[in-house]
Amino acid sequence: MMASAFDIHAAIAILRAEMPRFSKPVIDAMGETHTPFHILIATILSLRTKDTLTGVVAPRLFAEADTPEAMLALSEERISELIYPVGFYRNKARAIREICELLIERHGGQVPADLDALLALPGVGRKTANLVLTAGFDLPGICVDTHVHRICNRWGYLRTKTPDQTEMALREILPASYWKEINGLLVTLGQNICHPTSPRCSACPVAALCRRVGVERSR
């Protein structure tokens, strides 16, 4: 699962300096001004949906309902209308109402700042739960999506097969001071430079450190 030494300190330092020239991932940007409830619901909306669309749809939904109580006042059909055309919008509308019901029933209408309690909510996986903790509550957590998983393995920092394995491996070897920011940095890198296919290695600020594991062609 673990790979040999990769200079993660140098990589993080470079990305801290270089990534601010790109737009922040939408959930990270929301974490600066929005509530944990907003972060939770927006993250649900963002699954299998591009940031550009999430950034339009989430504010539209919150303009009509920005608390669990207000969300339950909307029908599932109305939520579906508001969040269309995000991926799986009907399923997400149903999950949003179920989440709001449980937040009221179990947590007094508040989003819990606890990983296990978040994972017990419908449609909430480890990526979503960790992002709520880090972006919503400024608590330690490692949010691993496809970008973090792909890039850590491409670098040669890890050898893992799934995002969940990557999260567990990072919990063992990644310095705690990098936990909260690694998702934002690597999502930005992945969206703009380190693409799944044909990454822009010639423009990558960490190219000199990267082992390009699995990269068959690049630009």
Q: What is the spatial distance between Cα 205 and Cα 198, in angstroms, rounded to a whole number?
A: 16
Neighbours of 197 (CB within 10 A): 8
Query: In angstroms, rounded to a whole number, what is the distance separating the alpha carbons of residues 34 and 42?
Result: 10
As a whole number of angstroms, the distance between CA 109 and CA 17 comes to: 39
Give the DSSP H/E element, type plus range, for residue 4.
none
CA distance 147 to 185: 10
From the list 75, 48, 74, the residue with the least C-alpha distance to 63 is: 74
CA torsion, points 22, 25, 30, 31, in degrees to nearest 10? Answer: -100
Q: Which positions are annotated as active-site residues?
A: 127, 145
Using alpha carbons, select from 148, 189, 209, 217 the residue that is nearest to residue 8: 209
- How big is the chain, counted in residues? 219
- Within 10 A of 173 (CB to CB), how many other CB atoms are there? 13
Amino acid at 76: E
Beta bridge partners of 2: 158
